[in-house]
Amino acid sequence: MSSNATFSDDPYQHVLSPLNIEDINQMNRLGLAVNHEQQTGMNYGRSKSGNGSIQLYRRLNPRGRNITVRIEGSMGDNQNRNVSNSCLG
């Protein structure tokens, strides 16, 4: 959670923690809070991936001729979720 606020006077002369919601409400009652904002957010992510390869080798004759076949592949799956909330006052 993050908070920010604007005051018309030094808030530390009136409250201990000016970004605490109770203290912002106190500053509102005193008429010293110009505006304030609180934001919260949550992120969740998941990722799966895999890859592989196959190689086939065949010697064709005794003089050293050969053939090679190689197959490669990969796949993946990603999932992300984000939630945010903002309150302006």
pLDDT in tens, 4-32: 889 999 999 999 998 888 998 899 899 99
The SS3 call for residue 26 is: helix
Q: Which helix (H) or strand (E) holds 13?
A: none
Three-state secondary structure of 46-88: EEEEEEEEEEEEEECCCCCCEEEEEEEEEEEEEEEEEEEEEEE
In terms of pTM, does the model score above 0.95?
no
The structural domains of the chain, with segments of one domain joined by +, span 2-75
At 76 the pLDDT is: 94
Q: Which helix (H) or strand (E) holds 24?
A: helix 21-29
Please write the tens of the pLDDT for every residue from 31-71. Answer: 998 988 888 999 999 999 999 999 998 888 888 788 899 99
